[in-house]
Amino acid sequence: MAIIGKDIRLAKEFLQKGQLVGIPTETVYGLAGNALDEKVVLSIFETKNRPSFDPLIVHTDSVEKLSDLVSEIPDAAYKLSQTFWPGPLTLLLPKKTSIPDLVTSGLDTVAVRIPNHPLTLELLRALDFPLAAPSANPFGYISPTNAQHVDQQLGEKIPYILDGGECGIGIESTIIGFIDGVPTIYRLGGLAIEDIESVVGEVALMAHSSSNPQAPGMLKSHYAPKKPFFLTNRNNFPVYEDDFGYLLFDKFIEGIDKKNQKILSPTGNLKEAAHNLFAYLRALDALSLSQIWAEPVQDIDLGKAINDRLKRAAAVD
């Protein structure tokens, strides 16, 4: 098991020695290591069991430091960074050669973000290198939203987890790239499209792909619980059996044991639903159930990113 604590100095020491540390962010916990050290980056892929064609996000604490990592910041990217950083936004920008090719899986853009968590920002300020950090879960499983989730799955493999409590937002950052100058969403996430469009106008949405390495991060089957998981409207759920579990938006289904039902937000609040999504999926996955049935949430704002996660959790390939 890893040590879990709030000691930034200790976290820094492990990272300087080339080891990996679990770090809190406002979205999900990350599995962090020195982004400029190829050996360390390789160990991130190994620790997560992640295929090398799926590139990592590089985390830093200021736009000034970004100029060491990227060769160009288009106007739209700069505007977005000024409005939403620190925050749940990742930008794909042309990389400098200081970033190992392993980080970007050979692509010429690097994913960068300034996360909004006080402990991690302080840690990043104390380090003289940026942190590569994928979500701190084994590849394909549900992302962790507290230090215990990280410990349960990767605790044997890493020395330290910086405990920043529960992640406020609860789903990963929104990823935006620029194709012929047009802001394009590569992954829906914790920053709603509506908010992005209020700053840069209409954005394009990249289509999902199951296995195309040109569009990494878009693997269909992802965020998946271990149990069979199905997504459909509640009127289409099969006849209840007492070992079925349910992940529901805002109200219980009458006549079904409440302990098998998780309500993402009793008031129908999409922020609250995003915050609870992964923790509730994990909780259902840990009960002795044979199947989990989920219903989509309202498809606006953060609801789009929630539905994206639910679809991918239910995907078979």
* CB distance 299 to 282 below 8 Å: no
Q: Which residue has the tokens 């620790």?
A: 47
CB closer to ligand TXA, 153 vs 260: 153
- Which residue stretches of the chain are H helix? 8-16, 38-48, 63-66, 75-84, 101-104, 118-126, 147-154, 193-200, 270-286, 302-314
Question: Maximum Cα–Cα distance for the chain, whole Å?
Answer: 60
CB closer to Mg ion, 166 vs 257: 166
CB of 193 to ligand TXA, least distance (A): 16
Coil, strand or helix at 22:
strand
The binding site for Mg ion (CB under 5 A) comprises 135
The binding site for ligand TXA (CB under 6 A) comprises 25, 27-28, 30, 54-57, 90, 92, 104, 107, 109-111, 113, 115, 133-135, 172-173, 175, 186, 216-217
CB closer to Mg ion, 41 vs 289: 41
Q: 310 touches which of Mg ion, ligand TXA, none (CB within 5 to 8 A by kind)?
A: none
Q: 104 touches which of Mg ion, ligand TXA, none (CB within 5 to 8 A by kind)?
A: ligand TXA
CB of 172 to Mg ion, least distance (A): 6
CB closer to Mg ion, 135 vs 261: 135
CB closer to Mg ion, 3 vs 206: 206
Q: 58 touches which of ligand TXA, Mg ion, none (CB within 5 to 8 A by kind)?
A: none
Compute CA distances 139 → 46, 51, 173, whole Å: 10, 8, 17
Residue partners of 56: CB distance under 8 A and separation at least 6? 35, 41, 44, 103, 104, 111, 132, 133, 134
Q: 168 touches which of ligand TXA, Mg ion, none (CB within 5 to 8 A by kind)?
A: none
Dihedral sign for Cα atoms in the order 62, 114, 31, 25: positive
